[in-house]
Structure 1
Amino acid sequence: MIRQAVTDGLEAREIDHDPHFQWRGRNVTRIENLSDIVFALALGMLVSASSPPIDFTDLKFHLLGIIPVTAGFAILLLVWNMHFVYFRRYGLGDRTTIFLNAILLLLILFIAYPLRFIFDALFSYILIAFGHTARIEALGIFDTMMAGELMRYYAIGYALIFAVYALMYRHALKRADEIGLSTKERMLTALSVQVFIMQIIIASAVAILAAMPPLWVWASFLFFFNWPAGYGLRWLYHRKLRKLEQAEGATG
């Protein structure tokens, strides 16, 4: 099913936070309802993953937990926003979209607890620098080999989620004629696919380096390449868009 496109461009620019796209998905479907429930469950699992405090020391650790919880919460919200934008942009509800969305929801539920554990561990390593070792010992991480394995899990989950999004956007691009994507929208969709592929490559490199003993300490720093690489891709595509707009203006 493909929902009817909304033709009021002014409304899209003033209300939506995606001004370069005409949003085709205006009504919330059952696919999105189910997805929002799953995201809400995952966010709840992330926040409530730790046991309730039973004494003052536990309470202090619980309050400090707001830092890793916030990091994991931000990542899940980023993934949710990508999901929200996809269904607003394309309004697709066919079998392929349902199948890929189901895989995505399974991944979201599966990574909720590991995501909390990973950021708890990263925060605990920061506390070690200040002489507090109890938190990392409570997590059962006793050497750098375990830390490298933990980073591999995170990188693999990260790559899988972006692989699903890349497939979803590729699918939308294949149905561009049916849903009426403009030339600019096709280019932006292709840009999204390229950005997702870039994320997959970087996450895969992190997972590989995290399995190599001399390099696993530095593996996570590869994630910082996401910003310059993503910015470079967007700059190239926006340059193409400007040329396209200039050409359209000259012929008009």
Structure 2
Amino acid sequence: MKFLHNISRIEAFSDGVFAFAATLMVVNFDMGGEMSFSKANLTGFLAFFVSFFVLVALWWVHYNFFRRTDYMDNKIITLNSILLFVTLYYVFPLKSLVQSWMGEGVKTPGDLASLFVMYGIGFMLIFLCFALMYYRATTKSKKPKEKYILHFYFRHFLIFVVVGLLSIVLASAEIGIRFGMPGFVYALLGPFCALHSYFYYKNQEHQL
């Protein structure tokens, strides 16, 4: 007998993993035993601040997926599990990257390049999982409006994957590494996503 998947259990487990990732950030937030505004403490707080709100943003993207569809199967569960695993990994290169802004933890351009590569891999895998989850839900949706919205977000998150891959390529080749070029590449997400949204909805208007 085939049982229906319990989405609430999957969401609860996912929320637990996100909470655990936040806990890891708190545990690794070291004030060095001094309640003062030294550079080390300020760097640690900034890394914690940015990492926490990036994690909240990822949770929000994850939350919205389950608001847009109620379809669930083993493939989406697998992709969701990979997503959660990568999210736990992603916390550490993100924190180290923020600390590098303050001149800590990075001694050579090669170190910074490696950090950008690790960050890019995490970023790319997270949004690849989101894209594939949306694609799977798109292929199974029976409602035209829902199918249209899911397909839009499938393509939307593929843009994130491409930008992350571009950053990895630049970092691996150490192109513009001294100026943080692999990091500035992520600014392309704004115009790319805006263009995608404009042309996608414009195409939909022509079909109506």
C-alpha distance after superposition, 1:202-239 (max 9, x if no partner): 11111011011343332221111000000000111222
Q: Residue 196 of structure 1: which of 157, 177, 181 is its match?
A: 157
- Does structure 2 conserve the Cα–Cα contact (< 8 Å) formed by 1:46 and 1:115? no
Instruction: Select the structure that is richer in helix.
Output: 2
- Does structure 2 conserve the Cα–Cα contact (< 8 Å) formed by 1:45 and 1:113? no
Post-superposition offset of 1:68:
2.4
Alignment of 1:26-175 (within 5 A): 29-55=8-34, 61-122=40-101, 124-125=102-103, 136=104, 139=105, 141-175=106-140
SS of corresponding position for 1:220: helix
- Alpha carbons of 1:160 and 1:30: their partners in 2 closer, same or farther (altered >3 Å)? same
Distance 2:51 2:37 in 1: 21
Post-superposition offset of 1:163:
0.6
Amino acid corresponding to residue 187 of structure 1 in structure 2 = Y
Residue 232 of structure 1 is matched in structure 2 by: 195
Amino acid corresponding to residue 233 of structure 1 in structure 2 = H
- Alpha carbons of 1:231 and 1:214: their partners in 2 closer, same or farther (altered >3 Å)? closer
Q: How many residues align?
A: 203
Amino acid corresponding to residue 84 of structure 2 in structure 1 = L
Distance 1:100 1:211 in 2: 27
Greater Cα shift, 74-83 or 226-235: 74-83
Post-superposition offset of 1:120:
1.6
Distance 1:48 1:58 in 2: 19
TM-score normalized with structure 2 length: 0.88
Distance 2:175 2:94 in 1: 25
SS of corresponding position for 1:29: helix
Unaligned runs of 5+ in 1: 4-27, 126-135, 248-252
Distance 1:2 1:153 in 2: 34
Q: Which has the larger radius of gyration?
A: 1
Post-superposition offset of 1:2:
6.8
Please report the RMSD computed on the Cα atoms of aligned residues, expressed in angstroms. Answer: 2.1
Residue 11 of structure 1 is matched in structure 2 by: none
Post-superposition offset of 1:42:
0.6
Amino acid corresponding to residue 232 of structure 1 in structure 2 = L
Amino acid corresponding to residue 161 of structure 2 in structure 1 = I
Unaligned runs of 5+ in 2: none
Distance 2:169 2:201 in 1: 32
Q: Residue 216 of structure 1: which of 150, 155, 177 is its match?
A: 177
- Does structure 2 conserve the Cα–Cα contact (< 8 Å) formed by 1:173 and 1:189? yes
